[in-house]
Amino acid sequence: MKINGNHIRPGNLIEHNGRLWIATKIQHTQPGKGGAYAQVELKDIRTGTKLNERFRSCESVERVRLDEVTYQFLFAEGDEYTFMHQETFEQITLHKDKIGEHVAVYLKDGMIVTISFYEEDVISLKAPDTVIMEVVEADAVVKGQTASSSYKPGILENGERVMIPPHITTGTRIVVNTEDGTYVERAKD
């Protein structure tokens, strides 16, 4: 689908110079002389290289549509992660590099994820926004610390460190944001 250069938004996937790029930063500029343009920082989705490109409003670019399919996480073996299609039961295996380090640490058996494809190539994997994890290690509460809104370090069942409120103890299940690995709330189960 063709779009004008000034309609590119962060997160859009476009085809430019025969490669697929994701727009990471956009700055619209209207100089005193000449036409307006959008200064776009692009990142190649396959190699990770970055490119700064100017797109005028009269230029058009090809916006790429992705096929998003839900899969169930089955297991991990080393750096290989296996997922099963929810309807056809076909399995695919992805390397940790394709998934992303920050997502891989929060994958749990049976978790439903969304995998984006472009012409049979896996582009990205999106985990749920939050996941419930158990705190396996938490520092003791310092007397008087509960009066202020301070946090203490804790370690989750997957080995990740997270800052948690003083009232959270070892064995408590909490909700964690998978995007940045921060504490959201105590699990309601």
Please indicate, yes or no, whether residues 49 and 19 belong to a single structural domain of this protein: yes
Structural domains of the chain, count: 3
Instruction: Choose one of 105, 126, 147: the last residue of a domain.
Output: 126
Transcribe 117-141 into DSSP letters: EETTEEEEEE--SEEEEEEEEEPPP
Return d(Cα 55, Cα 36) in angstroms, integer.
Answer: 9
Give the contacts of 32 (CB within 8 A, at least 6 positions apart): none
Please indicate, yes or no, whether residues 6 and 58 belong to a single structural domain of this protein: yes
- Domain residue limits at 100: 67-126
Q: CATH no. for residue 113?
A: 2.40.50.140
Three-state DSSP class for 147?
Answer: helix
Cα diameter, the chain: 65
Predicted pLDDT of residue 99: 84
Instruction: Let me know: does 179 contact 144? Beta carbons within 8 Å.
Output: no
The better pLDDT of the pair 86, 120 is held by 86
Does pLDDT of 96 surpass 80? Answer: yes
pTM over the 0.75 mark: no
Q: CATH no. for residue 6?
A: 2.30.30.30
Predicted pLDDT of residue 125: 86
Please indicate, yes or no, whether residues 45 and 88 belong to a single structural domain of this protein: no
How is residue 57 written in tokens?
């409003």
Instruction: Choose one of 15, 46, 63: the last residue of a domain.
Output: 63
Helix residue spans in 22-151 (DSSP H): 96-99, 101-104
Average pLDDT over residues 74-90: 92
Instruction: Choose one of 39, 63, 87: the last residue of a domain.
Output: 63
Instruction: Let me know: does 45 contact 22? Beta carbons within 8 Å.
Output: yes
Please indicate, yes or no, whether residues 71 and 122 belong to a single structural domain of this protein: yes
Residue 61, strand partner residues? 3
Predicted pLDDT of residue 77: 92
Does pLDDT of 124 surpass 60? Answer: yes
Average pLDDT over residues 76-85: 93
Q: What confidence tier does 45 reach under pLDDT thresholds 50, 70, 90?
A: confident
How is residue 132 written in tokens?
């419930």
